[in-house]
Amino acid sequence: MGSPCIDVCRFDEATGWCLGCGMTRKDKKHWKKEKTARPAIREALPARLCALEGLGQTVGKAAKKAKKNKQAEG
């Protein structure tokens, strides 16, 4: 099972969820070390990203695009 990480790695302060993939820092550690945790982590991500979007955050591929644009400006 491939990682859902899309190399955004910016975290919402209130939830601790990554704006790119929805994982927490703890989820990322578990993903690498505990393969049995992967299905549960992956299952939680769509709802997290939806919740972040509802809070006005740019998430998923749009967050990755925003990161690239910000890097190009700076």
Owning domain of residue 43? 1-67
- pLDDT score recorded for residue 66: 84
Q: Can you give the pTM of this predicted structure?
A: 0.88
Residues 48 and 11: beta-carbon distance below 8 Å: no
- Provide block-wise average pLDDT over 10 residues at a time, the chain (74 residues): 91 96 96 95 97 96 86 80
Q: Please give the tally of structural domains in the chain.
A: 1
In a domain, 17, yes or no: yes
Cα separation of 7 and 48, whole Å? 17
Residue-level pLDDT at 50? 97
Q: Is residue 72 part of a domain?
A: no
pLDDT on residue 72: 83
The rounded distance, in Å, linking the Cα atoms of 51 and 45 is: 10
User: Does residue 74 form part of some domain?
Assistant: no
| Nearest in space to 1 (alpha carbons), one of 52, 41, 60, 61 | 41
